[in-house]
């Protein structure tokens, strides 16, 4: 067999096709997750969420999520809503939906709740609080980095 420029072109093309095939196979084996399972239904509720965010903004600094210490979060809502508040706190992990945690909002008489972070993987988390009090919806979101 004689080597000439035609064989060289064929070898380069074959190498390119093989590399492309390997990249496609690798990409197809990677897990793909949407931001949430009910992505479209959540989009339809966007107006309600915007109103809940506005309601929360009007409460001012009375709402918040802070680090109580290295292993706990401190959640705060207004004291006058403490007895009426019903809702949920979500520890949301964008990179792995299996790590998400749902926690019922159960505040004390002063509007405080402490959440233990044991078993929570290190990295970036989003804390989402949604609750209802006095017939109005509220929504608060904050980012958190766990070490």
* Residue 3, burial from CB neighbour count under 10 angstroms (0-12, 13-18, 19+): exposed
pLDDT of residue 36: 65
Residue spans of beta strands (DSSP E) within 5-53: none
pLDDT of residue 75: 94
Q: Quote the number of domains for the chain.
A: 1
pLDDT at 109 over 80: yes
Residue 30 lies in a domain: no
Which SS3 state, helix, strand or coil, does residue 147 take?
coil
Residue 16 lies in a domain: no
Residue 128 lies in a domain: yes
pLDDT tens digits, one per residue of 12-57: 999 999 999 999 999 999 877 666 667 777 777 888 999 999 999 9
Write the CB contacts of 140 (distance below 8 Å, at least 6 apart in sequence). 53, 56, 63, 64, 65, 128, 129
- DSSP single-letter state for residue 124: E
pLDDT tens digits, one per residue of 58-103: 998 889 999 888 889 999 999 999 899 999 999 998 888 888 899 9
CATH code for the domain of 73: 2.60.40.10
Write the CB contacts of 19 (distance below 8 Å, at least 6 apart in sequence). none
Sheet strands side by side (includes 112-116):
64-69, 72-76, 112-116
Handedness of CA 107, 113, 117, 122 (dihedral sign): positive
| Beta carbons of 65 and 140 less than 8 angstroms apart | yes
Neighbours of 92 (CB within 10 A): 20
pLDDT of residue 47: 87
Residue 132 lies in a domain: yes
Instruction: Determine the structural domain holding residue 62 and report its residue range.
Output: 47-146
């Amino acid at each position: 067999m004689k080597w000439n420029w035609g064989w060289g072109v064929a070898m380069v093309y074959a190498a390119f096709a093989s590399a492309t095939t390997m990249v496609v196979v690798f990409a197809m084996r990677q897990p793909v997750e949407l931001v949430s399972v009910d992505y479209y239904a959540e989009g339809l509720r966007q107006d309600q969420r915007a109103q809940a965010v506005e309601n929360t903004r009007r409460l001012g600094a009375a709402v918040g999520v802070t680090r109580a210490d290295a292993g706990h979060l401190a959640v705060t809502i207004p004291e006058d809503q403490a007895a009426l508040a019903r809702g949920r706190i979500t520890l949301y992990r964008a990179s792995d939906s299996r790590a998400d945690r749902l926690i019922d909002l159960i505040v004390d008489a002063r509007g405080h709740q402490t959440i233990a972070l044991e078993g929570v993987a290190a990295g970036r988390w989003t804390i989402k609080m949604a609750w209802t009090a006095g017939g109005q919806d509220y929504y608060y979101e904050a980012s958190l980095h766990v070490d």
